[in-house]
Amino acid sequence: MARHLDSRLRTTPRFTLRPFRRRDVVALHEAVLSSQKELQPWLPWASSYDRSVAQRFVRDSAAAWAEGKAFDFAVRTSGDPNHHLGNVSIWWTSRQNGIGEIGYWIRSDMTGQGVGTEVTARAIQIGFEEMDCHKLVLRIAVGNVGSERIAERLGFTFEGTLRDEVKIGDEWVDHTAWSLLDFEWSDLYGKLRADGVLA
Ligand SMILES: CC(C)(COP(=O)(O)OP(=O)(O)OC[C@H]1O[C@@H](n2cnc3c(N)ncnc32)[C@H](O)[C@@H]1OP(=O)(O)O)[C@@H](O)C(=O)NCCC(=O)NCCS
């Protein structure tokens, strides 16, 4: 398994993915605040978000990347590189067994345009082709229909329901677990290229 990823810019047909930089704090903070209502039901960190949380995220993200533990990508377009569109991340849950997990969010005024599908497809490609993963997983809060559609469109198999996985506000929320295995990648890659989701 590859421990380290280089920090070069990666592209999709419409977007760019790159590691966070210190000067991304303002754009990240703005994107989360503008999307807070839609992020809060699914992502516990979104409810009390301020500049210091964004600062800590960028700092921790650089450290985790350098240690080869987790790789957070800022999603942008080349035409408007300072406008933050969302995050897609991939991190090891078991390096020994080659298992990685993917997470994502897209700013609310950009949802419904295939951004989530396209950047998650690129993260899958990074997982199999650069990190040499055997298995990639998604964990999705029950009721998050948009995220479930991304899992289905990207060929993930539903594995089951994990009870009380995360506390959001005062409520415990179940997650569904989804997975994709390395031998499923080549067929999926062909399909995603044919659909224009991957370059
Ligand atoms: C879930 C999320 C990532 C979807 O991003 P997106 O850019 O809108 O996704 P896409 O446009 O690629 O849509 C993927 C599919 O889901 C469908 N979809 C998206 N949002 C939906 C919603 N709220 N309800 C029902 N379907 C939805 C789209 O129609 C599309 O379906 P199709 O493939 O049949 O055309 C985005 O809404 C988001 O960031 N939500 C808040 C944070 C979050 O839930 N993150 C994921 C945690 S697991």
Residue 3 pLDDT: 73
The predicted-structure confidence for 163-174, as pLDDT tens digits, reads as follows 999 999 999 999
- pLDDT score, position 46: 95
**Residue 108 CA to ligand 1 centre (angstroms):** 10
Q: Compute the distance between CA of residue 167 and CA of residue 130 in angstroms, rounded to an integer.
A: 33
Q: Is the pLDDT of residue 2 over 80?
A: no
Closest CA to 119 of 5, 43, 13, 6: 13
Ligand 1, from 36, 105, 175: best to mutate by most atoms within 8 Å of Cβ?
Answer: 105
165 lines ligand 1 (CB under 6 A): no
Tokens linked to 74: 């800022």
Q: Please work out whether the CB of residue 112 comes within 6 Å of at least one atom of ligand 1.
A: yes
Q: What is the 3-state secondary structure (H, E, C) of 15-45?
A: CEEEECCHHHHHHHHHHHHHHHHHHCCCCHH
pLDDT in tens, 179-188: 999 999 999 9
Looking at the CA of residue 139, tell me the nearest atom of ligand 1. Answer: 48
The pLDDT > 70 percentage for the chain reads 100
What per-residue confidence (pLDDT) applies to 163?
98
Q: Report whether CATH 3.30.470.10 matches the domain 10-194.
A: no
What percent of the chain shows pLDDT beyond 90?
97
Question: Quick one: pLDDT at residue 4?
Answer: 84
Give the pLDDT band of residue 60 (cuts 50, 70, 90): very high
pLDDT tens digit string along 77-125?
999 999 999 999 999 999 999 999 999 999 999 999 999 999 999 999 9
Distance 132 CA to ligand 1 centre (A): 27
Asked if 157 and 135 touch (Cβ cutoff 8 Å), the reply is: no
Of 2-11, 35-44, 116-125, 134-143, give the lowest mean pLDDT range. Answer: 2-11
Average per-residue pLDDT for the chain: 97
CB 119 less than 6 A from any atom of ligand 1: no
